[in-house]
Chain A
Amino acid sequence: NAGVMQNPRHLVRRRGQEARLRCSPMKGHSHVYWYRQLPEEGLKFMVYLQKENIIDESGMPKERFSAEFPKEGPSILRIQQVVRGDSAAYFCASSLKRAPYNEQFFGPGTRLTVL
């Protein structure tokens, strides 16, 4: 049973470009969570999605950031017009059912570098 997959593992963008980060949850998991880890900091929650629905986006920046989890395909975290401050590691986690009853399994992360 494959774990949570994230791609790309490393992404380099220039200021003003768009970044698309993909997360494929574990098989059968319909709950996805995105976290951001700024350099030398802990992980901060961004958004929680179920299939086709955003459940909690309280940690998402108000502008430039969006997330989706379509009925088919991976979850996508999209950052428009990236700035240097967006450079971070972005982790995706999935759970079978609603956490905390079901553990969140983390992917390997996508390291975004904005030049």
Chain B
Amino acid sequence: AQKVTQAQTEISVVEKEDVTLDCVYETRDTTYYLFWYKQPPSGELVFLIRRNSFDEQNEISGRYSWNFQKSTSSFNFTITASQVVDSAVYFCALTTDNFGNEKLTFGTGTRLTIIP
């Protein structure tokens, strides 16, 4: 069984502040993949990043950065210098390498509101 927990239901920050969205995962598999998706008010799902379990290097893409720590089973997402366009629901997701388990398991999401 696998599980993704996003304990922060809603976060509000003032524009230009930094914000970190937490994601904690559970899986018994040694090979797995972690994802972050953004769901803006328009409703579509926008892929942000995929990380496999063998790659613990942190990643930075513009204002976005991700901190993957296997020791704490966490894959946190930080937005620096937040902007109003970052307002959305953000989902963390997990899948494993088990044949027959190709589905993505999503967390319940964190609704981020950036206050101008």
Contact = CB atoms under 8 A, between A and B. Distances in A.
A48 interface: yes
Contacts of A100: 32-33, 95-97, 102
B103 A56 contact: yes
A44 B106 contact: yes
Interface in B60-116: 91, 93, 95-97, 99-109
B7 interface: no
The dominant DSSP class at the B interface is loop
B102 A55 contact: yes
Nearest to B103: A45
Contacts of A42: 91, 106-109
B45 interface: yes
A98 B101 CA distance: 10
Interface in A64-108: 89, 91, 93, 98-100, 103-106, 108
A45 B104 contact: yes
A109 interface: yes
A42 B104 CA distance: 11
A94 B20 CA distance: 30
B43 A106 contact: no
Nearest to A106: B45
Contact of A43 (B91, B96, B100, B101): B91
